[in-house]
Structure 1
Amino acid sequence: MYVCLCNGVTDKEIKASIKEGATTMRALYKEHNIGSQCGKCCQCAKSILNDELIQIAEAQVQIQVA
């Protein structure tokens, strides 16, 4: 799904960036220009960022427990 219509950025591209190490909206902005035009994508992008970071943290906890 397109998150940023102005720059043609999809949720898959955002998730890939997060898996490669982007952990802030600033990092997503630098890579994809998220929020540089109308700004309507920021809330959705932030939600994806938070969800992905939670999943990464939970996976790390499971590895440490095992």
Structure 2
Amino acid sequence: MYVCICNGVTDHQIRQAAEEGCRTTSELTMRTGCGATCGSCLEMAGDILASVHAFPLAVLPGPLAEAA
């Protein structure tokens, strides 16, 4: 889905940038152009960045979590 209509940036591109180390919306703007025109997409883009970086820190239920 398009997150930044002005610059044609998709959620996939944002996730890819996050997986490559992008951590802030400022850095995302420099890498992809997301938010550089009107900025109305920056909240959603920030949420996507945060969700990508939060996933590896999530504790999964199951035997490994119980052993800790």
Q: Please state which band the TM-score falls in when normalised by the shorter chain.
A: 0.7 to 0.9
Which of the two has higher C-alpha Rg?
2
Query: What is the one-letter code of the residue matched to 1:52?
Result: V
Question: Which residue is equivalent to 2:17?
Answer: 17
CA–CA distance in 2 between the matches of 1:22 and 1:9?
15
Tell me the TM-score normalised to structure 2 length: 0.79
Q: Is the aligned partner of 1:49 residue 2:56?
A: no
CA–CA distance in 2 between the matches of 1:13 and 1:34?
10
Identity of aligned residues (%): 37
Give 5+ residue unaligned stretches, structure 2.
Answer: none
Shift of 1:8: 0.2
Give 5+ residue unaligned stretches, structure 1.
Answer: none
RMSD between aligned residues: 2.0
CA–CA distance in 1 between the matches of 2:16 and 2:53?
12
Q: Which has the higher helix share?
A: 1
Where 2:58 maps in the other structure, the secondary structure is helix
Shift of 1:10: 0.2
Question: Which residue is equivalent to 2:37?
Answer: 37
